[in-house]
Chains A and B, each alone.
Chain A
Amino acid sequence: EADIYQTPRYLVIGTGKKITLECSQTMGHDKMYWYQQDPGMELHLIHYSYGVNSTEKGDLSSESTVSRIRTEHFPLTLESARPSHTSQYLCASSEGDNLSNQPQHFGDGTRLSIL
């Protein structure tokens, strides 16, 4: 049973459109993450947040942006989608302070296809 929710689950959309992928969690976690997942590859961190008004880019360069106005909400936006953005996007959260090694809780993902 997921305490972290992603919408939409699937999205097929044309090139050039603006897209927002939603992620919400009900656990009160300060730390939240966005990963990109492609078949046979490790998860790549594209954005993370330590808390409200804190966002940072991850290891994988991404043309997306994120915001963190509320603890529970961490949306990801693509201003102009391209076919290279086709992938699965996973949102996650974790508890603990900045030096914590707590496991992450994942949503079920958004599978994005750009035509």
Chain B
Amino acid sequence: AQSVTQLDSQVPVFEEAPVELRCNYSSSVSVYLFWYVQYPNQGLQLLLKYLSGSTLVESINGFEAEFNKSQTSFHLRKPSVHISDTAEYFCAVPTGGFKTIFGAGTRLFVKA
């Protein structure tokens, strides 16, 4: 069975510090991977996606994630965070058809 594990429920970090949000998955089929972000009182928004090709994918606001098949990981990183990055981040694996498996989320707190 496919599953997604986000290893940290909360990550506090100071502004301008680097951050890594960890995601591990298990899948017996071809892997597609997403990161979504949810700001307070909003729905989820797609942050970045891995479908094929380069294992390093980037978002427009400075986040990046690297698909590591041998470690079954898709960790999200940003070299310097801003207050506005405070949000909840969800790792997700679409399984084909209708179903996407979401992790439990990591709440990122950026402190001044």
Whether A106 touches B104, Cβ cut-off 8 Å, given contacts A31-B98, A33-B98, A101-B94, is no
The 8 Å CB contact of B96, one of A4, A41, A99, A103, is: A99
A76 on the B face (CB < 8 A): no
Q: Which one of B4, B49, B98 contacts A50 once the chains associate, using CB atoms below 8 Å?
A: B98
Give the contacting residue for A42; candidates B45, B97, B98, B104; CB below 8 A: B104
Task: From A42, A59, A104, A106, give the contact of B105 (CB < 8 A).
Answer: A42
CA distance A76 to B90 in the complex (A): 24
Q: Mark interface residues in B80-105 (1 if CB within 8 Å of A CB, else 0).
A: 00000000001000101111111111
A-B contact count (CB 8 A): 62
The residues of B that contact A48 with a CB separation of less than 8 Å are: 98
Say which residue of A4, A43, A98 sits within 8 Å of B90 (CB atoms).
Answer: A43
- Please judge, given known A-B contacts A41-B104, A42-B105, whether A98 and B97 are in contact too, CB under 8 Å: yes
Pick the interface stretch among B18-26, B36-44, B57-65, B69-77. B36-44
Chain A residues bordering chain B, tally (CB within 8 A): 29
A45, CB-defined interface residue at 8 Å: yes
Candidates B100, B101, B103; contact of A104 at CB < 8 Å: B100
Select A101's contact among B32, B45, B102, beta carbons within 8 Å.
Answer: B32
Question: How far apart are B75's CB and chain A's nearest CB, in angstroms?
Answer: 18
B-facing mask of A37-48, CB < 8 A → 1, else 0? Answer: 000111101001
Question: Is A56 in contact with B98, judged by CB distance below 8 angstroms?
Answer: yes
Q: Does B11 contact A (CB under 8 A)?
A: no
Q: Which residues of B contact A4 (CB under 8 A)?
A: 43
> Is B7's CB within 8 Å of the partner chain A?
no
Contact A108 B32 (CB under 8 A): no
Q: Provide the bound-state CA to CA distance between A47 and B107, in Å.
A: 26
Whole-angstrom distance between the Cβ of A87 and the nearest chain B Cβ: 14
Chain A residues with CB below 8 A from B4, complex form: 42
Q: A103 vs B51: C-alpha distance in the bound complex, in angstroms? A: 10
Across the two chains, which residue of chain B brings its CB closest to A102?
A: B94
In addition to A56-B98, A59-B99, A105-B46, 6 A-B residue pairs with Cβ atoms within 8 Å of each other are A31-B98, A42-B104, A92-B44, A98-B98, A100-B96, A109-B43
